[in-house]
């Protein structure tokens, strides 16, 4: 169990340092398969991902029953609903990265760029705004992620999923870089060339 918890702490620290989350925002979870059913290790509510300790990570079952002390992220239901619908997913990284989240507050969509698997759709899938931490958001996210590895939450942030936690983290970094590149391109293309 300690190895799984250490991976979550490391990813939390990495994405904080890279500016994909700030303050006490964002959350990370990992599915741990056991003989007695799946256990989900998830970051706690109201704690910075930069300062996580082993005792902060909360373990829950797929029904949301806590198996350890502490209070899981307010987005626990969103994570659980995605895990229930997608048995191929073993990790979720939810960020509020500035460029990708900026797109989520606009009428512009983030293009799917080369560098992270086959491009099946031109744009990243997205869902309309639902209040964070609600059952409405949990259901919308789990129903609309489909077979994708990423979902943009309008006026909120991004969910990245993977077969393992490193894959989900790498995707979160890639999506933010993609959004940054597209933002710069939009800005440069909107300025009339005066030369």
Report yes or no: 80 and 141 within 8 Å, Cβ to Cβ: no
User: Which among 6, 7, 75, 143 is annotated as catalytic?
Assistant: 75
Q: How far is CA 22 from the centre of its chain?
A: 14
Q: Which tokens go with 172?
A: 């979160």
Q: How far is CA 69 from the centre of its chain?
A: 23
Q: What is the C-alpha to C-alpha distance for residues 103 and 126, in angstroms, rounded to an integer?
A: 11
Other CB atoms closer than 10 Å to residue 58's CB: what's the count? 21
Nearest to 125 by CA among 98, 78, 159, 96: 159
Asked about 75 being catalytic, the answer comes back as yes
Catalytic residues: 75
């Amino acid at each position: 169990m300690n190895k799984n918890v250490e991976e979550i702490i490391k990813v939390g620290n990495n994405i904080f340092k890279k500016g994909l989350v700030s303050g006490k925002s964002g959350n990370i979870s990992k599915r741990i398969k056991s003989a007695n059913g799946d256990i989900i290790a998830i970051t706690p509510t109201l704690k910075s991902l930069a300062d996580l300790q082993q005792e902060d990570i909360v373990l829950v079952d797929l029904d949301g029953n806590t198996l350890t002390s502490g209070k899981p992220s307010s987005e626990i239901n969103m994570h659980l609903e995605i895990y229930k619908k997608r048995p191929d997913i073993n990790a979720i990284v939810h960020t509020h990265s500035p460029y990708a989240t900026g797109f989520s507050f606009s009428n512009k969509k983030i293009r799917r760029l080369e560098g992270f698997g086959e491009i099946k759709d031109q744009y990243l899938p997205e869902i309309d705004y639902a209040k964070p931490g609600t059952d409405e958001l949990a259901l919308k996210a789990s129903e609309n992620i489909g077979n994708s590895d990423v979902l943009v939450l309008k006026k909120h942030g991004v969910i990245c999923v993977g077969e393992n936690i490193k894959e989900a983290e790498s995707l979160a970094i890639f999506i933010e870089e993609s959004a940054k590149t597209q933002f710069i391109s939009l800005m440069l293309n909107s300025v009339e060339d005066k030369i």
